[in-house]
Amino acid sequence: MKPAAAGSAGAETATSIRDAVRTGRRSAVDVCGHYLDRIAEGNGRWNALTAVFRDEALTRAAEIDRRRNEWRDRPLLGVPITIKDVICTRGQPTTAASRILAGFRPPYEATVATRLREAGAIVVGKTNCDEFAMGSSTEHSAYGPSRNPWDRERTPGGSSGGAAASVAAALAPVAIGSDTGGSIRQPAAFCGIVGLKPTYGRVSRYGLLAFASSLDQIGPLTQTVRDAALVLGVLAGRDPRDATSVEAPVDDYTAALTGEATGLRVGVPRALLESGDAGIDDEVLAAFRQALDAMQAAGATLVDIDLPHAEYAVPVYYLVAPAEASSNLARYDGVRYGARCGVADDEANGGSPISTMYDRTRDAGFGPEVKRRIMLGTYALSAGYYDAYYRRAQRVRSLIRRDYDIAFDEAGGSGVDAVAMPTTPSPAFRLGEHLQEPLAMYLGDVFTVSANLTGLPAISVPAGFTGEGLPVGLQLVGRAFDEATLLRLGDACESTVAGSRRRPDRAGE
């Protein structure tokens, strides 16, 4: 299928919707109804959402209209938002796109969902994803794959592929995703939108169905950098229900957006990018270089840096993340919640009925990618292999973090404010292209996993297009808790990179 032509840059933003609802130029009910109608018309084409909350959303919109004067200062007043299906919303389906959680409706809500509602947002539905966020294409979903609005035969990325597709296809102006190894940034790059992974500890993980607890982070996918800044200001902050969230000042992120980058130093790991080992597509590299030129035009200074241990990031990640997953997913046993595969009350199979129920439930409930990662993680943690694999991976993880610390250090290092690289080594690939080659899929995370291993913030912003019209993303990695600088740089790129606000032409839907 031929990729979609680029459409206009007129897609609504969260900021414009909020301002229109605040002033009464538009009613929240009209806005919400418009997006619900778009979902009803387009979701069959993109398979972006797994559940739609039409009645609840319209009821919420009507309440906002009634209380508009009272709630005028709420930063997301009347903004429709989708939430990834690994983030709990009270009483609403939350399945992690897995058969093992079919029908699960949590009795509690994630902190991020609560903060969005308090900010005036309207949750219109849950978005499709790779099962338990384990994947890079949204093909590992019990609901089937999502599709890229630029080309239906290609992946929107993963694991937050449905979230990215919902924004790119204008089914919602904002989506909330999770990022364990690039699951916000890679789909954002593939779909030509903005995706932000905050610093580990910046946003509460309470209510997130855990994949790898030392790597997971929640963040926004948006049409613009300004919207990402607006949403981060709502999500960020200490949460006593999440012991990993940090008591750190929350900046006024929108105030940091000046449209220029004067005085900022951007590190470029040229040896990593130009060695040939990263497998970067020529058109992706060309778009990346143009984005570097745009940052210079906006006032930034480019500095060559070295990240000597970056080449080990993928193998380290695929030891650490599966190890944590094997522990986190042990709770899905068919006893307390979710699906259960019962057995006859006998021991003819040579095992106890309860252990057989565990085995059958997990075998039927988990998909092949989740099983693969559980087995990898269990092996890495097993007696006799722990030191050789998991412990060694954690040591190299520390070296990767030290490389970034040196790059950011003004006294003994390069003193850069951010590190730039392509978000992905290639544009969106075709559905099914890597499904039987998990290693090829894993290698696509070469530029994104380091930010999770180090806990640093990272953003993907549109950086141009290939000759076929497929989007390319620029990734910027920053100092811990310095999202303001990343957003400023991203805003400068958005202001100077040609076509950064282009969206797929949906006229033929």
Helix or strand (DSSP H, E) at 474: strand 471-478
Q: Measure the CA–CA gap between 460 and 361, rounded to whole angstroms.
A: 38
62, burial (CB in 10 Å: exposed 0-12, middle 13-18, buried 19+)? middle
CA nearest neighbour of 29 among 53, 62, 57: 62
Whether 160 is catalytic is no
Q: Describe the crossing of helices 14-23 and 225-235 by its angle, rounded to 10 degrees.
A: 70
Torsion sign over Cα 245, 453, 261, 12: negative
Provide the greatest CA pair distance for the chain: 74
- Tokens encoding 111: 């902190």
Task: Name the active-site residue from 146, 166, 183, 204.
Answer: 183
Cβ-Cβ contacts under 8 Å for 396 (sequence gap 6 or more) = 309, 312, 316
Q: Which residues contact 165 (CB under 8 A, 6 or more apart)?
A: 46, 47, 48, 127, 128, 146, 147, 148, 149, 156, 171, 187, 191
Query: Alpha-carbon distance 386 to 392, whole Å?
Result: 8
Q: Which of 136, 137, 146, 159 is catalytic?
A: 159
Strand partners, 474: 422, 461
Distance CA(341)–CA(339), nearest Å, equals 7
Q: What is d(CA 454, CA 366) in angstroms, rounded to the nearest whole number?
A: 29
98 belongs to the catalytic site:
no
The distance from CA 321 to its chain's CA centroid, rounded to whole angstroms, is 16
CA distance 435 to 130: 12
Q: Catalytic site residue 159?
A: yes
CA distance 294 to 490: 11
Q: Which residues are catalytic?
A: 84, 159, 183
